[in-house]
Amino acid sequence: MAESSELFELKNFFAIGSYQAAINAGSSIPQKNLSETDKITRDVYIYRSYIALGNHRFVLSDIKDSAPTALLAVKLLATYLSNPENKDIALITVKEWMSDGNSANNPVLQLVAATIYYHEENYEEAMRCVYQSNSLEGLAMLIQIYLKINRIDQAEKELKGMHQMDEDATITQIASAWVHIAQGGEKISEAQAIFQDMLEKYGASVLLLNGIGICLMHQRKYNEAEKYFLQALEKNSSDPESIINLIASYQQTGKPNEIITRQINQLKTVVPSHWWLSNLKRAEENFDLHASQFAI
């Protein structure tokens, strides 16, 4: 009962991407109200929120090497994300831990491992980490992977499992919106309604604002979508997904090239190794290659 009552708000804020609110909610829970297991769960969400806010150094320094497996897994995620030079050691470590029968069954480690492999675009290995997960977050991660590889049918199957576990959970509703967007058509309005309902209940977050904006883009309401992306950037000017979505809306509404270029440069400053930039560079190189064949 402690987790459902004391940790609900913390988990809820984390699910909608309100990370500072999650930190505040978790930090305000009286220690006496939590079991030892719930204390670990609380700390996992708090540290993951710091990571989401880009505060990797704090997580790396605050989690001790003697911490429980779940917290060490979060520290490993911070290691992986903090510096490109740390990626190799993080990949070696996660492989070792996932090969250890004692640690491999830890749901937080499974989720962290899947997240790391997802970032590496190794979707098969990411899927293997959470394939038999019995947690809502594990299933949500699996859905995200299936959507990434265009297996909507499998994503729909896993979503049914989430609904059977807890259809009212915020993370289940968010996952439902992801799947609805992938399904397209009339489902887009259902996804928008979910994001809008969450926003009205719990307040605006970067995740919810982008969700609504994406739904509006699918409905070709580009000017309206742009407003939501700008609101998201007001909350976090360094959020790469908001920048990318804003670029897409600018392109659709015919904004001047210098405005679009400014946003691309902002993305290069924030996350120079982002996959979107890699794809853009590859497309530009292919264009130059083919254009050169027609040069006079």
247-289 pLDDT tens trace: 999 999 999 999 999 999 999 998 887 878 888 888 877 777 7
Tokens of 59: 């997580």
Give the torsion sign (CA, 44, 46, 47, 48): positive
- Residues written for the chain: 296
> Mind listing the pLDDT tens digit for each residue in 148-184?
999 999 999 999 999 999 999 999 999 999 999 999 9
Query: Does 19 have pLDDT greater than 90?
Result: yes
pLDDT digits (tens, 9 = 90+) for 191-218: 999 999 999 999 999 999 999 999 999 9
- Tell me which residue has tokens 């038999």: 132
Distances from the Cα of 204 to the Cα of 11, 77, 199, 249, 287, angstroms: 16, 26, 5, 20, 40
Tokens of 255: 């904004």
Tell me the C-alpha distance between 130 and 79, whole Å: 21
Structural domains of the chain, ranges and CATH numbers in brackets: 188-296 (1.25.40.10)
User: What is the token pair recorded at 2?
Assistant: 């402690």
Asked if 173 and 147 count as a contact pair (C-beta separation under 8 A), the reply is no
CA-wise closest residue to 212 among 198, 230, 200, 228: 228
pLDDT at 281: 81
